[in-house]
Amino acid sequence: MSPYLRSVEGDPSQPRPGTPVRILVDGESLEARPGQTVAAALMVSGRDSWRATRGAERPRGVFCGIGACFDCLVVVNGTPDVRACQRTIRPGDTITTQQGAVLPTTSEAAGTATPTAATKAEHRATHFVVVVGAGPAGVGAALAAADAGVEVLLVDAGRAVGGQFHRQLPVEFKARRPERLQHGWGEFSRQRDRIANHSRITHLTESSVWAIERDAQSREEPAHKRKTTRLWLQQGPADAVGRRVWPVDAAAVVLATGAYDRVLPFPGWDLPGVYSAGAAQALAKGQRIAVGKRVVVAGTGPFLLPVAEALIGVGAEVVALLEANRPSTVLKGWRTDPLVAPSKLTEALGYGALLARHRIPLKHGRTVIAAHGRDRVESVTTAKLDHHWNPIRGTEQQVEVDAVCLGFGFTAQLELAISAHCDLGIGPDGGPAVIVDENQQTSTPGVFAAGELTGIGGAALAAAEGEVAGAAAALSLQATSRPPSNKAVTKARRFAAALAKAYPVKPGWQTWSDDTTVVCRCEEVTRADLQEAVTQREATGRSLKLTCRVGLGLCQGRVCARTVADLATHDIAVPAGQTSSDFKRPVGQPVRLGDLAAAEIQEDL
């Protein structure tokens, strides 16, 4: 079954069809809707996969939906390695499927445009705050810093503020009632308008920080002696001609880069039709696309509920919602802090009513342990789990579906924080997180962190931390700023701590895979390959990369690093403590060499 676009008839939240544009896909002329991503246009046309890996030539399509996994690569107008989920179509685009590694077929003129006055001013400026990421944390930080009287540069890869939590329909869709697709739309829309109209905020859309440079120095060094942080920016779609690559020197930086879904491996999880829960929600909320007609949602945590809601909203049949943790585990976790759970009671009751209305079974202590199909998912095997998440023999059930959405919590996007030499610790969910003080200051002077970077805790905590970080960043630049209040952060962190205890990821997931299961999607490294590499060398991120290429693919370990670290310490008796931070990389986002060469030429001029 192919994904489809729900009819817009009778639903005021649905977009009104715009004038179609024509694009060329593998030589075939197709109609697409203005504002659609390449991925959405391909999915509506019935294509489930459009890339093959260079090794075993496994088919790939959308998996993460937010540009982290690089599974959905296509060639656009002659430029390969374009992430289909991030690139918005333009009339006349020529798109071809990508089989393995592909060289550009067009002349690389990207980045050769003459720097504008704005670019030069950005390069010279040093006494301002740069906020990276425009989700709840980044928006809060930008407004707090700007309100304190400092200039703010807000950098985000999206076309609009909001991040994944407040993902919006493209303006080209002309949605009649967009508030029906969002929780907390009123407050968010006010913040969005303030960002757009604030005289001290410059918002760079479709932009990324791909590197951070900073000299090591003592945190106790006086503020007036601290050196600035240099951030290397890239602006524009991945295949655009005349993209700008340039440095910005910031007096203070707030990292609010968010997180991406954690998906645990099992046989068949690399088939097209297996999506992260966030991808399913992003396509539903941002493109009005259902990833399938019969969908199972599985994993752990309350995020599965809004994912199911989003799927229902675009007409998908949610066959079941599978919560891996048992009710006793969930209840025990919330009881660790009984005062925080009631704040979400109304929301929980609303989701319960939604599931009941659509007759969607919510099954605790059960999950998907295998996916089956030839070219894409055709069915899944589910099983009951014991207290440690080991499958209970004899409880397996096979369910016919054309899509499965998985979410086992989140993993923080730490690339820039690691490059900035920020100290890492362990977050409430057991994953790596940036260590911050009461003002969201990291161990690196002038670098602040907010949101999921400091521990997975949800949108409310991210927004509260962002406000503190932005105010603190401004305070570090001028004595007239007021010290930030962190009362909201303290309250939200209590909720995050209880949440992590209510929905833990148990070690039994490591029994779901076998020797043939792929653990590194990009390089097609199997669990057996990983085991052999661990026995050959000391199990560190670098040694495993060199031995079996795990984490060396296009995603650079974003999807597999945390899984590999856990499996390496489980399968072979090596010292514990390996984390995804072992997969360090100085380049945080992809950047083409032609752009870098052009940027160097411009600097020489």
CA dihedral 318, 322, 327, 333 (to 10 degrees): -100
Any bridge partners for residue 362, and if so which?
Answer: 321
In the predicted model, is pLDDT for residue 10 greater than 80? no
Rounded CA separation 95/74 (Å): 7
Per-residue pLDDT reduced to its tens digit, 283-328: 999 999 999 999 999 999 999 999 999 999 999 999 999 999 999 9
Of all residues in the chain, what percent carry a pLDDT higher than 70? 84
* pLDDT at position 468 over 50: yes
Give the up-direction half-sphere exposure of residue 28: CA atoms within 13 A in the CB hemisphere.
11
Per-residue pLDDT, averaged over 178-196, amounts to 83
Spatial strand order in the sheet of 274-276: 274-276, 403-408, 294-300, 317-323, 362-364
* Section 582-601 average pLDDT: 72
Residue bearing tokens 């995050």? 496
Q: What percent of the chain has pLDDT over 90?
A: 62
Report whether pLDDT(485) > 80.
no
Task: Determine which helix (DSSP H) or strand (DSSP E) holds 459, and give its type and residue range.
Answer: helix 459-475
Q: How confident is the model at residue 587 (pLDDT cuts 50, 70, 90)?
A: confident
Residue 427 has pLDDT above 80, yes or no: yes
Domains and CATH numbers, the chain: 4-99 (3.10.20.440), 117-260+414-498 (3.50.50.60), 287-408 (3.50.50.60), 511-582 (1.10.10)
Helix or strand run (H / E) with residue 210: strand 207-213
Burial class (CB in 10 A: 0-12, 13-18, 19+), 337: middle
Whole-prediction pTM:
0.90
Q: What is the pLDDT of residues 28-81, one digit of tens each?
A: 999 999 999 999 999 999 998 998 887 778 899 999 999 999 999 999 999 888
Q: For residue 539, is pLDDT > 80? A: no
Q: What pLDDT, on a 0 to 100 scale, did the predictor assign at position 107?
A: 53
CA 303 → CA 310, 323, 358, distances in Å?
Answer: 11, 11, 18
Tell me how long the chain is.
605
d(CA 480, CA 224): 15
Residue from 268, 298, 407 nearest 361 by CA = 298
Region 383-387: what's the mean pLDDT? 98
